[in-house]
Chains A and B, each alone.
Chain A
Amino acid sequence: MTTKNIKKYEEIKLPQAPKEESKFGNAWYMLKKNKAALVGLIIISILLIIAIFGPLIMPYKPNIGELSQSLQKPSITHWFGTDEQGRDILSRIIDGTKISLRVGITAVAIALSIGIVVGSIAGYYGGKVDMLIMRFMDVMLAFPSLLLAIAFMSVLGKGIDNAIIAISIVTIPEYARIVRGSILSIKDSEYVQAARVIGNSDVAIIFKHILPNVISPIIVRATLGVSNAILDTAALGFLGLGVQPPQAEWGSMLGAGRGYFYNAPHIILFPGIAITITVLAFNLFGDGLRDALDPKLHQ
């Protein structure tokens, strides 16, 4: 087909995909009306600011402590008290924000990227490719996700990068399934057929025409996925498999504090509250986003 011919086809009024701009504009309007989601968004913004400007607002160096100051209760000098090594807990929590958000967001970004590619291939091409990919995803879904992440950590070794890899791998099937399902629901739509007729490549059809129209459930799942990834990171840290000392991470702070919390409850109190608030914020925002992007709820 020549370029001239393609241009001719494009001039014909072909079925158009729904306009994304108005859809997301409407979603933003709905989101603004949802107070809980706004609270979530505000908390996430504050956490991001803390993560970025942490070193400027930390009252003490997070990894350096004085043994003479160990297990101090919360006071004016140490608002959240000190840990078993005399390190300031507030400074460590501020430092840990960066790690928790980094692991949570990076793990979801990796899983989402791979899930989109794998799910798109399965959904778009169907047949044996679909069967092979989805059976492999079924096998991965046959494991409780935390257990599989632990198994991966046991072979990859401890550390933050391996925690990101383990958490990403175990969540790929969730995204692959959502993407595949969404693609199956619209791959035979008129505007997708039209895109095919005018000579678009498969990659262009998937990424330019299909994915933008099925992105809503994927965004919602990814937002809620960040909260799960943060909880999993904390769990791995608590078990001693995630971030390694002396680096501050909320889960590993709880794990290290286990031996001292009978006499110094503050040592486990504040890292736990930090995890809960962060996860809660992503849950509130994710729930709000789901309500805003679900057309059924607008009616």
Chain B
Amino acid sequence: MVKYIIKRLLLLVPVIIGVSMLVFLVMHMFTTDPAATILGQHAKQDQILALREQLGLNKPIYVQYWDFLRGILHGNLGDSLMTKTPVWNEIMARFPATIELALAAIIFASIFGIIMGVISAIKQNSIVDYICMVISLLGVSMPIFWLGLIFILVFAVQLQWFPVSGRIDIGLEPIRITGLYLIDSLATGNMPAFFSALKHLIMPAVALGSASTAIIARMTRSTMLEVVRQDYIRTARAKGLLERPIIFGHALKNALIPIITVIGLQLGTLLGGAVLTETVFSWPGVGKYVVDAILVTDYPVVQGTVMMMAVIFVLVNLLVDIIYAFIDPRIKYS
């Protein structure tokens, strides 16, 4: 197992180098001259040339790439063209917000997706099954940003159950330990902060997790339907076991492998989806940061953020692979 993990980690190296190369080339081959962007429309040619020299843009492309790669290894992703602050610091300051949102979304999606899938499977072809499947079909067909806007309209503006935007009420920010407000406020016993953070988190998390809920529900249903037809389930029934232990103790346990695969893959997808949700709810995470940067062509920010998110995406997928080994002894790793 340890050997497998080490092997997979080593295999990550070429993928991450490839990711960095792709991000770097795309950003450098197609973007407009960053020096011209910084200096604006009225800049003179010699000013642009001087700034290009200062930014190292006159060096050969492979030297620039090497500098970029070395920077990543030292936690240096360059400075934002607009705010002049280090991109790494900005990303680190915002990353906990995105992680908290993605985790909340995946927890919501897993719980409701599995419940819906199991109910659909055990009540196959009933009205409950049809309702669950219609909900899940709508879930994968609705744009999450539109769902977010509808949530704001109904639950924030009309019913006023939740705040319209933001991450926590001003002045209630807990002392930073992990950067995840829910955990930090609980750890410091700051309950007003906890409830404020929770109220701010619910709508974006549900909106972000809606498509994943639907995908997990559909996967759970089809896997459960396959599992409940297996001989060992028939045996359990013949032995006179009650339906509940059969479903949860035998069937669901065995159906979990493909469900966990889907959940893992969804966690990665949610990082991409966070770009939209964070924009809708003005959630101060990495997604909103990158969208704002794109709109003002701040390429070091786009480059750094896309790179970081890709690395996290790859690591999450690796983690999912490793988790299989723990939950399914039939999978052999060599």
Chain A residues with CB under 8 Å of chain B are: 135-136, 138-140, 142-148, 150-156, 227, 231, 234-235, 238-241, 251, 254, 258, 261-262, 265, 268-269, 271-272, 275-276, 279-280, 283-284
5 CB contacts below 8 A, A to B, read A142-B19, A151-B27, A239-B294, A275-B146, A279-B142
Q: Are B142 and A276 in contact (CB under 8 A)?
A: yes
Q: Are A280 and B137 in contact (CB under 8 A)?
A: yes
Known: A265-B153, A284-B137. A235 touches B276 (CB 8 A): yes
Q: Per-residue 0/1 for B293-313: is the Cβ within 8 Å of any A Cβ (1 yes, 0 no)?
A: 011010100100010011001
Q: Are B275 and A146 in contact (CB under 8 A)?
A: yes
Compute how far the CA of A198 lies from the CA of B213 in the bound complex, rounded to whole angstroms: 52
Chain B residues with CB under 8 Å of chain A are: 14-16, 18-19, 21-23, 26-27, 29-31, 137-138, 140-143, 145-146, 149-150, 153, 157, 268-269, 271-273, 275-276, 279-280, 290-291, 294-295, 297, 299, 302, 306, 309-310, 313-314
Tell me how far the C-beta of A93 lies from the nearest C-beta in chain B, rounded to whole angstroms. 13
Chain B at the A interface: mostly helix, strand, loop or mixed?
helix
List residues of chain A with CB within 8 A of the CB of B29.
155
Compute how far the CA of A262 lies from the CA of B138 in the bound complex, rounded to whole angstroms: 24
Name which of A139, A146, A235, A240 has the most chain B CB atoms within 10 A of its CB. Answer: A139
Q: Are B313 and A150 in contact (CB under 8 A)?
A: no
Q: Are B18 and A138 in contact (CB under 8 A)?
A: yes
Q: Are B272 and A276 in contact (CB under 8 A)?
A: no
Known: A136-B18, A241-B294, A272-B150. A150 touches B275 (CB 8 A): yes
Compute how far the CA of A265 lies from the CA of B273 in the bound complex, rounded to whole angstroms: 24
Compute how far the CA of A139 lies from the CA of B18 in the bound complex, rounded to whole angstroms: 6
Compute how far the CA of A271 lies from the CA of B149 in the bound complex, rounded to whole angstroms: 12
Q: Are B310 and A143 in contact (CB under 8 A)?
A: yes
Of chain B, the residue at the smallest CB distance from A153 is B294
List residues of chain A with CB within 8 A of the CB of B15.
135, 138-139, 142
Q: Are A262 and B153 in contact (CB under 8 A)?
A: yes
List residues of chain A with CB within 8 A of the CB of B23.
151
Tell me how far the C-beta of A105 lies from the nearest C-beta in chain B, rounded to whole angstroms. 17
Closest 10 CB pairs of A and B: A144-B272, A139-B18, A272-B146, A155-B30, A280-B141, A279-B141, A154-B294, A146-B272, A147-B272, A143-B310
CB < 8 Å neighbour of B141 from A153, A156, A227, A238: A227
Q: Are A254 and B269 in contact (CB under 8 A)?
A: no
List residues of chain B with CB within 8 A of the CB of A151.
23, 26-27, 302, 306
